Structure 1
Amino acid sequence: MLEKTYITLLGTIHYWIHMIDTDIATLVFLPGLTADHRLFEKQIEYFQGKYNVFVWDAPAHAASWPFQFDFDLFDKVKWLNGIFKQENITRPVIVGQSMGGYVGQTYAELYPENLKGFVSIDSAPLQRKYVTGMELWLLKRMEPVYFYYPWKSLLKSGTNGVAVSEYGRKLMYEIMMVYDGDKKRYSQIAGHGFKILANAMEANLPYEIKCPALLICGEQDHAGSCIRYNKAWHKNTGIPLEWIKGAGHNSNTDKPEIVNRLIERVVKQIQ
């Protein structure tokens, strides 16, 4: 994987890419909020050499710092599309975990003709109808909650709360330790992420997925109301839903072999 950069007016985005052929699918791996590119190391390991692969540190995350917190979900997607143009990525299949899934749905809204495939991993629908007013109110006010929460407790909940496997928990611990000693930055990343998510929901756009798609959710995903949201998402849209036994919120780290096979199934639909 080659590390490259994309410069914006608010900061520089770092991403990693391996291109084989611009005419084949590019798997675009988008990590969840506060996670970085390492979240998908088992997927990169499996798919590199089979397809084009891409993963980023989202704006303000890990290597994509310093970065001004003056952007929304739509800006994020426009930058992502700018990277696609820079790299001549013409057949993107977005694989988004949690917040990465919301980025994928926003991409589907802004660039519906470009998106060739979509896989949601422990994410949820972006449409306004799925959330309550109280949920939106809370999402906009999460930064102080994270800031005043003891760091050791955050570390524990941020690792044990998102993964079931030893590997998944260890990986998330290492990712969180990037912010050890700088809880203010961690709180800003989390708080800003939840806020722009709420704003995108309040925009009340269709966020329709018009390409081959798949919903993946861990049976032990207890982050927010992911299980409830995925059941409703599947019921309302007919997008296939796969439950991953023995997996939490980061099901791609808990059960990578199963998740990799499911991702490949979607990619084969568009080849």
Structure 2
Amino acid sequence: MTTKLYVEEFGNGLPITLLHGYPLDHSIWMELVPQIEKEARLILPDLRGHGKSPALQGPYSMLEMAEDVVGMWDSLGVEKSVIGGHSMGGYVALALARYFPERLAGLTLVASRTNADAPEKRKARLESIEDVRKNGIGDAILSMPEKLSYNNSVQKFCREIILDASQVGVMGVLAAMADRPDSLDLFLGLEIPSMIIAGQNDQIVPIESLRSVAQKMKRPWLVEISNAGHMPMLEEPKEVASALLAFIQFIKENN
């Protein structure tokens, strides 16, 4: 069942849809708006189970979350969009590339992985579902901000979003992440422009792993953000906006 997503839009031109990570919302991208809205149509949704979008009973799947985005595009009259996904949003972006490749004009991963969960990571996610079911949004999730960034103000910003997270949504999304397929070959085989943006101090997705993926890309394009961890769009918004604008310009020139 497709979920109608809450969405905010800015600017005009080539659509670029930015998907947030777990368990956050569209507001992580807001500092990029003043720069990007002058050059593109910026589409910022809350994914199902997050922010102001409905939190249906789970478990969710990456296919369902991708279908929600396609439904949103249909309602907005968007035939094709550049897609950018942060962390979990990157998994949704890869699901869009897998199931709806004709709807994508380009794909950017921001502090995100292409591989599936290792067995121990998948087990930990499933255990987290049970913990949240029994205890609500507990210490395990509220400790996330310290892993997301070394920047105290970024930690505070993320903590406030997490405190408002839906218990049902968190459980549904954890299931979707645990069961997602490996997408490395899919990403490396993309015919559309692709780029990776990564924080050099990311504690969740080590920069070395993304350097390894970038080296295998048909057209290697890795933008490393110094002084940034897992939240580069909040830690160094001007650098992330600059990278996305360069990506948009490349797509316009090579369309």
**C-alpha distance in 1, partners of 2:146/2:120?**
26
Matched, 1:242 2:223: yes
SS in 2 for 1:164: coil
The residue aligned with 1:3 is none
8 Å Cα contact 2:11-2:39 kept in structure 1 = no
1:250 offset after TM fit, Å?
Answer: 0.6
8 Å Cα contact 1:91-1:116 kept in structure 2 = yes
2:41 to 30, 52, 66: 52
Query: Structure 1 residues 77 and 66 mapped into 2: Cα distance closer, same or farther (>3 Å)?
Result: closer
**C-alpha distance in 2, partners of 1:232/1:240?**
12
1:152 offset after TM fit, Å?
Answer: 5.7
1:38 offset after TM fit, Å?
Answer: 0.6
The residue aligned with 1:169 is 155
Which has the higher mean CA deviation after the structures are superposed, 144-153 or 226-235? 144-153
**C-alpha distance in 2, partners of 1:150/1:99?**
18
Q: Deviations over 1:86-114 (max 9, x none)?
A: 11113311111100111111111112232
Q: Deviations over 1:127-181 (max 9, x none)?
A: x5xx5333333333332355659846743x32222123344223212212314xx
1:112 to 81, 85, 101: 101
1:76 to 60, 65, 81: 65
The residue aligned with 1:43 is 32
Matched, 1:160 2:149: no
1:78 offset after TM fit, Å?
Answer: 1.4
Query: Structure 1 residues 256 and 231 mapped into 2: Cα distance closer, same or farther (>3 Å)?
Result: same
Q: How does 1:88-127 map to 2 (within 5 A)?
A: 88-126=77-115
1:212 to 181, 193, 198: 193
Query: Structure 1 residues 260 and 78 mapped into 2: Cα distance closer, same or farther (>3 Å)?
Result: same
The residue aligned with 2:245 is 264
SS in 1 for 2:104: coil
**C-alpha distance in 1, partners of 2:54/2:80?**
28
1:199 to 159, 174, 179: 179
Q: Deviations over 1:184-211 (max 9, x none)?
A: x44x434432321232216998354321
**C-alpha distance in 1, partners of 2:240/2:184?**
30
1:50 offset after TM fit, Å?
Answer: 2.4
**C-alpha distance in 2, partners of 1:87/1:230?**
33
Amino acid at match of 1:141: E
1:270 offset after TM fit, Å?
Answer: 1.1
Amino acid at match of 1:221: D
**C-alpha distance in 2, partners of 1:143/1:152?**
13
8 Å Cα contact 1:164-1:246 kept in structure 2 = no
TM-score by length of 2: 0.85
8 Å Cα contact 2:19-2:85 kept in structure 1 = yes
8 Å Cα contact 1:124-1:233 kept in structure 2 = no
Q: How many residues align structurally?
A: 249
Amino acid at match of 1:266: F
**C-alpha distance in 1, partners of 2:137/2:164?**
16
SS in 2 for 1:13: coil
Amino acid at match of 1:193: V
Q: Which runs of 5+ in 2 are unaligned?
A: none
**C-alpha distance in 2, partners of 1:196/1:150?**
18
TM-score by length of 1: 0.81
Amino acid at match of 2:104: L
The residue aligned with 1:30 is 19
Amino acid at match of 1:206: L
Q: Percent sequence identity over matched residues?
A: 17
**C-alpha distance in 2, partners of 1:10/1:118?**
22
The residue aligned with 1:144 is 130
Q: Which runs of 5+ in 1 are unaligned?
A: 1-8, 180-184
